[in-house]
Amino acid sequence: MSATSPRPRLAVIGISGYGKIHLQLARECRDHGEADLIAAVVINPEEEVANVAELRSKGCAIYADYAEMLRRHAGELDLCLIPTGIHWHVRMTIAALQAGANVLVEKPLAGSTDGVAAVQAAERAAGRFVAVGFQDCYDPGTQSLMAALQAGRIGAIRSVRFLGVWPRPRAYFRRNNWAGRLQVDGVAVHDSPLNNAFGHFVMLSLLLGGVAADELRLRPDEAELFRAHAIESFDTGVVTFATARGVRFWLGASHVSAKAIEPEIWVDGTAGRAGWRYEDEAWLVDGAGRREAWPVLDQHATRRLMMAAALRRLREPDAPICTTEQAGRHTALIERIHRAAPVVPFPPEQVEWVGDEERTSVPTFPGLTEAMQRAFAAQGSLRAAGFTLATGVNRA
C-alpha cells in the first residue's frame, strides 16, 4: 500500500465460473471500504456485460489479457486474485509476483511439484507472499481443533482418515478444457476429486495429521483409482499411506454415486479421537471420555475469513495464511498418487447413469458407495471391503 492509497489495491484475473466467488469477495471488500478493486481481466465480456459495466462504474479498469493488466499496473497492485484453471496457476502467480503484487491463488497451488518450486522461487525473489485458497484452514472451529491436537489432547496421532462422495454429472467434466485432465498444453493439471472438489479436505487432513513436507511415503499398492466418466484422470479414489513418523492416512473420494456423503475427517490418537464434519462441527473426545465441539462455518464464511487473512498479511507480515510450503505438501501427495497406480475404467456395461438428460445424468456403480463406507471404517482397501470390478457387488 502506498502513501497515496491507504486502502489495498486489488486485481482479479477472471470473473466467470469460480471467478465469480473471488469477484464477490473483492466487491465486498470494496463496498466495505477495506480495499480498492482497480483492475480485472475479463476474457468473455459479451457474457459478463452487467459485471463489466458495474466494475467500470466503480473505477475498475477491464483487460482482455492478464499479462497486459500486470504490465499496465506493475508496482501498483497490493493483492492479485487468481481463481483460474489449475494449469494457469503457476504462470499467472509468477507473473503477478514479478509485477510486484502479493497473490491469493485458488487451490491447488500447482499441478506438479516443479510448479510449486517455481512459485516459491519467484515468491522469494519478489519478497512478496502467496496465499493458497484452502479456505477451511481459516475456520475458527478448525483452528481450535488443530490447537487441541497440537496440545496433545488425544495423545500422539496414529491415524487420519477422510471420506467424501459428491455426485457429479457429465456436464461437470465438460465445463472447461481442463476438467478431468492430467495435463493441458504440456502443463500438469492432475484434476481429480482429491485435487479439486475434495482437495480442501485432503489438505485439511494433512494439516490435522501434522504432516511435514518430507514425510510422505506412498507405495504402488496403496492407491485404487477408477473412472466412470469419459476423462483422463480418476473420479473415484481410495489411497492409504504412512508418514515417516508412522501416522497412517486413508483418503477416499468419489463422484460416482447418486447419493452424497458429506466430507468427514476422523483423527485417532493414543488417548482419544477427534473429527471434522463439513459445514457442521469439529469435535474431540479425550481419553477420559470428555467431549468438546466447535462449530464449522459454511464455505462463504470461510472464504471471507480467507480474504480477510490475506488483507491482514499485507499489514502484518506474520499474519497466518495457507502458505506455498503447506500447499506444496498437497501437490506432492497428488503427484505421488498418480505415480502409484494406473487409473482403471469401471466396466461401462455395469455403470448406470441416473437422470433424465444425458448431460445432467450421474454415474453409479453397484456396491461402490457402501464399499467405500466399509473401507473408511476399517481404514483398508476397497478390495478388502469386498469390492471388485468383476462383480461390483458386496462380497463382505
Measure CA 279 to chain center: 15
User: What are the start-end ranges of the E strands in 180-247?
Assistant: 183-184, 187-188, 216-217, 223-227, 236-243
Phi-psi bin for 392: left (phi > 0), alpha (psi -120 to 50), beta? left
Q: Tell me: the pLDDT tens digits for 229-246?
A: 999 999 999 999 999 889
Q: Span 63-80, mean pLDDT?
A: 98
What's residue 1's pLDDT?
55
- Residue corresponding to grid cell 497490493: 78
Looking at the structure, tell me whether residues 129 and 149 fall in a common domain: no
State how far the Cα of 392 lies from the Cα of 394, in Å rounded to an integer: 7
Is residue 213's pLDDT more than 80? no
Q: Is residue 314 part of a domain?
A: no
**DSSP per-residue letters across 41-74:** E-S-GGG-HHHHHHHHHTT-EEES-HHHHHHHTT
The CB density around residue 214, as the number of other CB atoms within 10 Å, is 10
In a shared domain, residues 80 and 156: no
- Domain span at 245: 140-298+324-378
What's residue 248's pLDDT? 95
Whether the per-residue pLDDT at 47 is higher than 70: the answer is yes
Residue 47 identity (one-letter amino acid): E
Nearest to 64 by CA among 42, 40, 33, 92: 42
* CATH at residue 66: 3.40.50.720
Q: How far apart are CA 83 and CA 92, in angstroms?
A: 10
DSSP assigned state of 217: E
Per this entry, what is the length of the chain?
396
The enclosing domain of 239 has a CATH number of 3.30.360.10
- For residues 322-331, one letter each, b for 16 or more C-beta atoms within 10 angstroms of the residue's C-beta and e for the rest, the string is bbbebbbbbb
Output the pLDDT for position 338: 96
Residue 163 and residue 238: Cα distance in Å, rounded?
9
**Looking at residues 73-82, what average pLDDT do you find?**
98
Residue 234 is assigned to a structural domain of this protein: yes
Single-letter amino acid, residue 59: G
260 in Cβ contact with 165 (< 8 Å) = yes
Confidence of residue 395 (pLDDT cuts 50, 70, 90): very low
Mean pLDDT of the region 304-317: 97
State which of 113, 135, 157 marks the end of a domain: 135
Q: Does one domain contain both 145 and 112?
A: no
Tell me the percentage of the chain whose pLDDT exceeds 90: 93
pLDDT at 3 over 50: no
**Residue 391, pLDDT score:** 53
Q: Which of 111, 99, 103 is nearest to 132 (CA)?
A: 103
Tell me the pLDDT of the chain averaged across its residues.
95
Kindly report the backbone phi and psi dihedral angles of residue 78, in degrees, each rounded to the nearest multiple of 5, phi listed first. Answer: -90, -35
Residue 388 within any structural domain of the chain: no
Domain boundary among 135, 166, 189: 135
In a domain, residue 294? The reply is yes
In a domain, 175, yes or no: yes
Write down the pLDDT at residue 221: 72
Q: Which of 214-218, 292-296, 392-396 has the least mean pLDDT?
A: 392-396
Same domain, 179 and 251: yes
pLDDT confidence bin for 219, thresholds 50/70/90: confident
User: Do 152 and 220 reside in the same domain of the chain?
Assistant: yes
Is residue 1 a part of any domain in this protein?
Answer: no
pLDDT tens-digit map of 258-302: 999 999 999 999 999 999 999 999 999 999 999 999 999 999 999
State the pLDDT at residue 110.
98
Query: In terms of domains, do 293 and 156 share one?
Result: yes
User: What is the percentage of the chain residues whose pLDDT exceeds 70?
Assistant: 97
Entry pTM: 0.94
pLDDT tens digit sequence for 179-208: 999 999 999 999 999 999 999 999 999 999
Residue 5 reports pLDDT greater than 80? no
Residue 393's pLDDT is what? 42
pLDDT for 244 equals 86
| Residue 394 reports pLDDT greater than 50 | no
Q: What is the DSSP string of 250-281?
A: EEEEES--SS-EEEEEEEEETTEEEEEETTSE
Whether a cis peptide bond, with omega within 30° of 0, leads into 108 is yes
Q: Are 197 and 292 found together in one domain?
A: yes
Count up the domains in the chain and report the number.
2
User: Are residues 352 and 277 both part of a single domain?
Assistant: yes
Q: Rounded to whole angstroms, what are the CA distances from 345 to 167, 224, 252, 254, 300?
A: 17, 11, 17, 13, 35
**pLDDT value at position 108?**
98
Residues 202 and 164 in one domain: yes
Confidence (pLDDT) at 59: 97
Cell numbers linked to 229 = 466418466
